[in-house]
Amino acid sequence: MFTKTSVGVDNIITNESFNITQRPLLEEPMRTIGRLIQDDIAIMVEGSDGQSYLKSGSIILPGFWKLEEKFNMNLSEIHTSGDVPQFREKLERGMVNFFKRVMPDDMVIRHNYFMQVDDGLAWSHSIGPEDSPHVGWFTAEKDKVVENHWFRSERQTLRRLPRSGGVAFTIRTYFHPVTEVAKEPYVPGRLASAIRSWGDDVAQYKGSEKYKSILLNFLDQENQKQIDLGLISKGGESHLKYPY
């Protein structure tokens, strides 16, 4: 997909050439990065107060949040402004200390997941228009048919930049219809179990009141189908080895 050149790199798919040696640079670095990698990226920089602040980014597929609203916030403000459950009580101190320990040669990887009741990859339009100052699950239609339910997962990485000392936070989004995800052995049962395990605060944060009834009914049915077909056993391992 890419070819190294004397001044940078060429994208042989899009026929774009990137000159990263000329000074001043021909375009803002975040614009270049946004066209070179699949992941969204945010740069956190430590301030004089020891807090990490969001100072730059290329966020194309945010889904539920806006870069302009989080820009210049510190790590704690980013999470509290998004009403992340139990952040102050259980997560804040550990996360702040963790960011200080991230090293250039030791990338950290984590995954999360959300449910959507629309097929908007870049922006979940069911929570309201992207340019609206007030968005949230309160605008979403309740109990839409399961074909409107999508599974959204992010592969997030953290790595310290060796020269600036900032932390590069990358986000690669995977987005699939629940009806497709549920075809994989054990997934319907495990996903249903995970959703049922959410506390009230997490359930509210993830908007489960808008889709839980329809989604759990579908997942339970698909799980039972897999048991009946002998694809899975209760508490056992799949008869098929991954990848299927």
Q: What is the pLDDT of residue 233?
A: 82
The structure tokens 């004089």 sit at 48
Tell whether the model's pLDDT for residue 241 goes beyond 80. no
Q: What is the pLDDT of residue 244?
A: 42
Tally the domains of the chain.
Answer: 1
CA distance 56 to 138: 30
Tell whether the model's pLDDT for residue 174 goes beyond 50. yes
> 150 with 158: CB under 8 angstroms?
no
Peptide bond into 243 cis (omega under 30): yes
Q: Report yes or no on 191 lying in a domain.
A: no
Tell whether the model's pLDDT for residue 243 goes beyond 60. no
Q: What pLDDT, in 10s, does the model give residues 44-97?
A: 999 999 999 999 999 999 999 999 999 999 999 999 999 999 999 999 999 999
Q: Report yes or no on 87 lying in a domain.
A: yes
Q: Report yes or no on 230 lying in a domain.
A: no
Alpha carbon distances (Å) from 58 to 25, 31, 105: 17, 7, 23
Q: How many residues does the chain have?
A: 244
Task: Taking residues 189-213, report their average pLDDT.
Answer: 97
Q: What is the pLDDT of residue 30?
A: 93
Q: Report yes or no on 242 lying in a domain.
A: no
Q: What pLDDT, in 10s, does the model give residues 5-17?
A: 999 999 998 899 9
Q: Report yes or no on 193 lying in a domain.
A: no
Q: What is the pLDDT of residue 236?
A: 54
Tell whether the model's pLDDT for residue 151 goes beyond 50. yes
Find, among 165, 167, 148, 149, the residue nearest to 157 by Cα: 167
Tell whether the model's pLDDT for residue 239 goes beyond 90. no
Reported as a pLDDT band with limits 50, 70 and 90, residue 235 is low
Q: What is the pLDDT of residue 133?
A: 86
Q: Report yes or no on 95 lying in a domain.
A: yes
The structure tokens 């060796």 sit at 162
CA distance 13 to 38: 13
> 61 with 39: CB under 8 angstroms?
no
Q: Report yes or no on 206 lying in a domain.
A: no
Q: What pLDDT, in 10s, does the model give residues 102-150?
A: 999 999 999 999 999 999 999 999 999 999 988 999 999 999 999 999 9
Q: What pLDDT, in 10s, does the model give residues 23-40?
A: 999 999 999 999 899 999
Could you tell me the CATH number of the domain that includes residue 30? 3.30.450
Full domain range(s) for residue 74: 26-177
Tell whether the model's pLDDT for residue 225 goes beyond 60. yes
CA distance 29 to 127: 31
Q: Report yes or no on 238 lying in a domain.
A: no
